[in-house]
Structure 1
């Protein structure tokens, strides 16, 4: 539950961070758009100053619409109305020429208000309206003998600026939405798989526990039968006991792996591992004598003080020795221990079939087995070495393998010694 909350927390923080970054980019983009707009408007202002400052159709028409010279046959109001539309179209053309394409209005006025030419499109005077006054000089002010100001007005420029950024804004939010969707999907898949693994492990755990009862009962029954059978039947009973023992070993291994998968805490105790290691070697040496294969060991003198779970380490050593036996036609196995750099070094060496370089990278994966063609001559489930690696990892140690095909294999375990013995 804590892990789930942790991952969800990271996801939420990441999404908020992405939105903040996107917002900052948006602010920067809006500021850049405003700067570009101001530069374009400055160029437009310069063009309009020049247009109104020289004699042309526009300045001539506006000037005579406010003089009583009777130059035109139209009435003064009609002239001013024509001037209003002509000026609007003229300013619009100048704005487009400078790549400004947004709604605007204008007002041309004098200080004494005798000249007041307003745009046919007008905006309400509110906070959203931005005004850009242009002081005119030259022909038109001189003709009317007045100080004239041309004021351009724009409304809701932020919408215009956002429209300029739509090439970046829309893809940015689209990709952000895709990232959020993919992250949510991945988290759902991750938690679904975690839940499936937990259910599977619980099922295996319960199933193997159920197996233990009949296996124990069969073991007891074979012991009872062994007392009353004749010599011809003893090999059969012996084989049954052997297979029951093997099945029980597999059950214990699966249970051990299930407990490791559930990330249960492994209690480590401070101990001298040397006596236990000697006992394990002696037990395996007895097996070697019974099954007629070679096994020897060299355990360095002194104490091997470390924090360990002895039952699990026994499984590790037994597993490596058993593998060395199984994967050799004529087993010849050697176990050696030494201490160096404040570490206990355990080496298990055999002269068996060896492991290819490709397989050496995969043998510690769960359920992986070294290929032997279409058949696996050696029985097993590919769980042993993954269990070994996990146990060594829980002891803060390392395991590595060196091998050559048809030459042999060496497994090396390094486990840190306890600080008090340094």
Structure 2
């Protein structure tokens, strides 16, 4: 599947998901509005019937009733005759039940003598209700009116949409499942591509030492080589170096594979003077490597083999992605009871969009993923795994064309008399 096809599928999937969710929200909202209109119509009819039944008109005077909707849950009922409050509660309960309005209600009757609304709560049987005189009540010509409020109206209408809501939840659940499935497919596709690239890189990397060993073996198998001891020694050293290189490459792959399978490294922590380790590392490199060791306490508890591999991987990574004249700085300092190690280079840098992925196994940033740059794409993944296994923290600061800086923070260095900084700056020229 090409990248263009993948992007088209992603866009179409996103649009489909948004469309499904928007459609469900739209129909649930429409269903609620329909229920609300039905509630309003039924409440208006029921309250009109209640007003006619509780009115006490004068002989021969027709009852004139008006139901004013203050809100979908609040109604004002006016009439041109006195109200029998003793009948109001009974008829309210009866008419609302007849019109299928089965929710709690509160009502109040205007008391002409007191000049205010007097409320009662038929469901809770309270002497006083939490209601107050409604604001925004239109002026009425008649002093005979009562108000009714449904405090649980929204909850009551929502309960009637249980089927709609359940259906929407099922659709969202199915949609979420397909989103997760699609995400896993894309992740697996990316991982497969990375593994394929890793196999290509590994094949290329392993061919180089194998070819060198084969050439050296052919030369050493010649009878005349015994007459040229210097040349024979040269090819023996070549075999040793290439064998060691091949061994390191295989060990890196096996170490990462074991860590992914078991989920952890078998660490053997011992006290290590990091400055001593950095001196030894600098001896194996040229004048491009600079040490700036400002930490007063440099002894830590760690696995010596893995920490040495971490330092080697970071320096090798900096060297591979630096220009013709590389400058690599190894810096240390103590900060907030921590030992901080930084590896800084003047290389090509890493774009922000690629930085979150550089610690993934097999990942190599675009532009660096070619055979002229050696490596399997496992170095930084191995570094992060070792850092996490020690419960340390690693961070990256980088920008295109401005180099990269990897910082490792190690908590609670061991205070040791030999961990005092012996040199603040050590260049390879001084070694």
Q: Normalising to structure 2: TM-score of the pair?
A: 0.49
When Rg is computed on C-alpha atoms for both structures, the one with the higher figure is 1
| Structure with more contact order per residue of length (Cα contacts < 8 Å, sep ≥ 6) | 2
- Higher helix proportion: 1
